[in-house]
Amino acid sequence: MAEIICIIGNKGGTGKTTLSHMLCQGLGLLGQRSACVLTDTSREPLQPEGRRYVTADARTREALGKVSDKLRSLDGWLGVIDGGGNRTEVDRRLYGIAGIVLLPFRESHEDIRTVVKDLEMFPRAYAVPSQWPTNPWQREAADKNVGQLMSDYRHRILRPVNALSASKLLLQRQVPDALPTPLANACRAFAAQVLDILELEYRDRNDDPLVVGEPVGRSTSDTPRPAFAHHH
């Protein structure tokens, strides 16, 4: 039975679709088989050629049901459902079928307020700082806001996924033959966090040994988001 991961949230512009493809690309780099499932009716399906994952079109309720059933029949696979579209009723349905739910948010106060409400609505969800600033001053301010405004949810916040212009390459109908190394590294790091939550072993294609991660949110010695750990 496949593990199902849903990326949802009521705030638009947080990068749900980009993160869905980054996660699947990273899972492929870590030796995992995955499917990126499109549910946003405003988007067109992308070609699977050149990707380290397959793509699936589930833009109707019926198609989503069929894709979900298919995923459940596959052992050793991970299904990543892109819940783009900011539709609360769809989010609730996806939450019901998911093993893990991810809630992307950007550094604005509006995004933080929205993701806090979503964390309250979806108690099994994790928040993902998305398109996070890389400028040191902006990064410090963003980390401080999260530390102050989301302190009650510290154990449910993943490490940030930085803003990366190359990530748009994954949203092209056909991806280039080679993707930039910084993009591959970001995808790999994001996927590793998710596999740690699932407590799944994975093999980095740059390394030989199998890795078993410390589950995020369960370790008292290692916070899942050290960038925010020093803020009170």
CATH code of residue 167 = 3.40.50.300
User: CB-based burial of residue 194 (10 Å sphere; 0-12 exposed, 13-18 middle, 19+ buried)?
Assistant: buried
Q: What is the pLDDT of residue 86?
A: 62
Name the one residue in this structure whose structure tokens are 């806090």. 116
CB 156 within 8 A of CB 127: yes
C-alpha–C-alpha distance, residues 218 and 232, integer Å? 20
Q: Please count the structural domains in the chain.
A: 1
pLDDT at 25: 96
Task: Indicate whether this model's pTM tops 0.85.
Answer: yes
Residue ranges making up the domain that contains 27 = 3-228
pLDDT of residue 215: 36
Tokens of 83: 């819940």
- pLDDT by residue for the chain (232 residues), tens only, comes to 789 999 998 888 889 999 999 999 999 999 999 999 999 888 899 988 889 999 999 999 899 999 999 998 999 999 999 987 667 788 888 999 999 999 999 999 999 999 999 999 999 999 999 999 999 999 999 999 999 999 999 999 999 999 999 999 999 988 988 899 999 999 999 999 999 999 999 887 655 444 444 333 333 333 333 333 333 3
Secondary structure (3-state) at 24: helix
What pLDDT does 205 receive?
A: 61
